[in-house]
Structure 1
Amino acid sequence: MTELSTMKDGVANQAEASDRVLQILAEAGRLFASKGFEGTSMRDIALACGISKSLLYHHFSNKDEIYARVAVGSTLELYLFVRDRIPDGPPSQKIRAFMVATAEYFRRYRWAWIASTTAFWNDPDRRRHKERLTRRDRFENFLRGLIQEAIDAGEIRKVDVPMTGRLILSSLNWMHRWYNPNKSATPEQIAEIFFDMLFNGLRSGELIELPGAEPPRAGRRKSR
């Protein structure tokens, strides 16, 4: 469900409303991640967002609904956020856009990302857990479709698509464990570096013999 919170000339401004919901989820996620569910109140969330409690209640009926959206809804918001930022063009550039958009979402809503990641495995609600898995699979399958497009177009070699998808997502999903916002590189720049490493490789132009590796054996000539 998309909440529409603002009106302009009598017309609902969906983009601004979506940003408001994402702001609430991000601030609530930050509070849940730092203070826990029990230590966070609706008043805390409203103050963190710089909005009134009545406006907060306009979007969410209670704290549990916000927590559910952080735990479950953030996965949907991430999917929509990334999907809408995939341009037309070569499949490999779509994968690049996927990675950069995912990193942008992480930068903009980092605490919601952290709280959602924590809740992903710790939420005892089995229905919510199943729903999160379904939405996670849709996000992964979206990426796998882009990888398959790149293979079919001949832009990348034939690779194991699910394994490649896991490699890309793992490079992004664990960024919150080590990323320092005080450093110079932004998450989007880091995603660009990851993309370059993945698609251009680490090896230099010349073949380097690895220590302990046996040189290839020359085939024997058949005696005449």
Structure 2
Amino acid sequence: MARAATRPATTPEAGDAAERMLQILSEASRLFATNGYDGTSMRDIALACGISKSLLYHHFTDKDEIFAKVTLGSTRELYHYVFDRLPEAGPAERVRRFMTATGEYFQKYRWAWIASTTAFWNDPEQRRQKERMMWRDQYEGLIRTLIQEAIDAGEFRPVDVPLTGRLILSSLNWMHRWYRPEKGMAPPQIADAYCDMIFNGLVAPR
């Protein structure tokens, strides 16, 4: 199920450059998520990374290029992250793993998730929006496929698949609006709790 992963040989210089790129994208994600695109400058990103603006421009042409890598990359990698972690198990368990893997991704890349969510509705660049929608549709299509497989296997009762998919995705996608890392459950635990509520309902057994 997982994609084959190979790691090319790298020189120390290439490794340093990759680490620097990761740092820049991580700090930029936090700034875009907290201050917005317009409220973030190249100077802000350079200061957050502890580097000069000239070094920042060595890696990226402008702020828009960084923003595109953060927001498009997050949408694309969410799909791959979840897909690669689906187990060879029963359909219902695969639905659960879809949800908890999404929670894991949110926990690891929370700032990029928030920046990407904002860009999803506000980015005027049509080419980027089209690509973003493509990956969103693949991610949504994946949960619908898993739900249908669970119905076909008799593990779920016959339900409206698109409606059920939207219920699951809505519970996960809105987590960023209220979640605080310093209190309560971790995102994968929240996703697992959502899964129990969806699978078992709220009515106590009689």
**For the superposition of Structure 1 and Structure 2, which TM-score range results when normalised by the shorter chain?**
0.7 to 0.9
Indicate the residue corresponding to 2:3 in structure 1.
none
Indicate the residue corresponding to 1:180 in structure 2.
180
Indicate the residue corresponding to 2:124 in structure 1.
124
Deviation at 1:151, TM superposition (A): 0.9
- Letter aligned with residue 7 of structure 1: T
Unmatched 5+ stretches in structure 2: 1-6
| Distance in 2 separating the partners of 1:159 and 1:181 | 34
Indicate the residue corresponding to 1:7 in structure 2.
10
Paired residues, number:
198
Matching of residues 194-213 of structure 1 within 5 Å: 194-206=194-206
CA contact 1:26–1:110 (8 Å) conserved in 2 = no
| Distance in 2 separating the partners of 1:128 and 1:41 | 21
Pair 1:187–1:129, CA change in 2 (3 A): same
Indicate the residue corresponding to 2:75 in structure 1.
75
SS in 2 for 1:7: coil
Structure having the higher Rg:
1
Pair 1:81–1:20, CA change in 2 (3 A): farther
Unmatched 5+ stretches in structure 1: 207-224
Tell me how large the CA RMSD over aligned residues is: 2.9
Deviation at 1:22, TM superposition (A): 6.2
Task: Give me the identity figure in percent.
Answer: 65
Deviation at 1:172, TM superposition (A): 0.4
Matching of residues 3-152 of structure 1 within 5 Å: 7=10, 24-42=24-42, 44-46=44-46, 48=48, 60-152=60-152
Deviation at 1:44, TM superposition (A): 3.8
Larger % of helix: which?
Answer: 2
Deviation at 1:78, TM superposition (A): 0.7
Deviation at 1:26, TM superposition (A): 3.7
SS in 2 for 1:192: helix
Q: TM-score, normalised by structure 2?
A: 0.82
SS in 1 for 2:198: helix
